[in-house]
Amino acid sequence: MMCRHNKFLSILGCFAALITFTCVGSNAANWNTKSTTQYLDGSSLGLKAPSGSGWDKHMAYAKGRKKHNFTLLSDAKKARRGEKYQRIELRSGDCFPSGGSWNDCEMDRERFEFSSRPRLKPTQKHCFSYSLMLSSDFTDVHPTNTDLGQVHQVGGPKGTAGGLKSFPPLIQISAKKGKLLFKWHKLTGSSSNVVDTTVERYLADLSDMKSKWTDISFCLDFEAKRMDGWIDGKKTFEINESPINFVPEEIYFKYGIYRSFISRYKSISGDLPTQVVFYDEVRRGSSIESVDFNLNPKLKPVD
């Protein structure tokens, strides 16, 4: 039986902890590097990340986002560790342009995600971790896809999916058919018309993740050509293959709620239900011990 943590008392309690957005220019230099700082930069919402997290910042580039989409909360009794944690809410119709020619509203998608920086080169070993908690009323919207974390790529192959243009990711952490899954996109064929074969590994039951924290960590080893994953500090899978067949310019981590092919659910059940997910302890490093506090309790909380 997997270990779970910090039972969440009430979704309504989140609204009492709303904080005021701080507007600063893109050249702001007075960020508090010891704790997560929320800021606005033009049309982008950002989080300045603590140096111990391995990240510099997390950016949400969606223009037209709604106030309900994100809240930075401070409550040591409800956070996974430390005091601060994040609340992300996605409602039916929450689709936005995200820069360039891409517009989720035109591509059968809804999302609110943070894109983390720095971007990374697809070399050596990169490990990622974060803690995730589903709201007590979280609804699985299969056959629409719901992804709660991604490793995407810049300059990678492209193709089509469901009749729409597609720039496939490498990894997605997905809520599907009552389960949380690690999904590796095994890409083959032509770089301009890629064949995407999804390989899935079980992580947890969604029912066990409601109102409870689940710690997710995984490593992509581009040198040793393997992938490994952990839940709550326990090894759950190994994939002894290279994460890539095409070498992208860079990779980057994203987290939040991303729903694709929303028409599949809508054609059966109407508008998609609101989904609320909480995040904490978002980290990256070059080893599992540098990101997973279950395996290395000396890691300081990410606040």
Buried b (16+ CB within 10 A) or exposed e, 60-92: bbbeebeebbbbbbeeeebbbbbebbbbbbbbb
Q: Residue 65: which of 37, 100, 89 has the closest Cα? A: 89
Tens of pLDDT along 24-38? 333 332 333 478 988
d(CA 208, CA 68): 25
Distance from CA of residue 34 to its chain's centroid? Answer: 22
Which residues, 6 or more positions from 73, have their beta carbon under 8 angstroms from its beta carbon?
14, 17, 19, 79, 84, 85, 86, 87
Backbone angles phi, psi at 77, to 5 degrees: -75, -25
**Using alpha carbons only, what angle is made at residue 18 by residues 291 and 113, rounded to the nearest 5 degrees?**
45
Question: How many Cα atoms within 13 Å fall on the side-chain side of residue 199?
Answer: 16
Q: Are 215 and 292 in contact, with CB atoms under 8 Å apart?
A: yes
Domains of the chain with CATH codes:
38-66+83-290 (2.60.120.200)
Q: Are 302 and 283 in contact, with CB atoms under 8 Å apart?
A: yes
Instruction: Please tell me the total number of residues recorded for the chain in this structure.
Output: 303
Per-block mean pLDDT, blocks of 10 residues, the chain (303 long): 46 34 31 71 86 94 85 97 97 86 90 96 98 98 98 88 78 98 95 92 98 98 98 98 96 98 96 98 98 97 93
Tens of pLDDT along 29-78? 233 347 898 888 777 899 999 989 999 999 997 677 899 999 999 999 99
- Please provide the DSSP assignment of 76-128 as one string: TTTSSSSSEEEEEEE-TT---B-STT-BGGGTTEEEEEEEEES-B-SSSEEEE
pTM, entire model? 0.86
Omega of the bond prior to 143 within 30 degrees of 0, cis?
A: yes
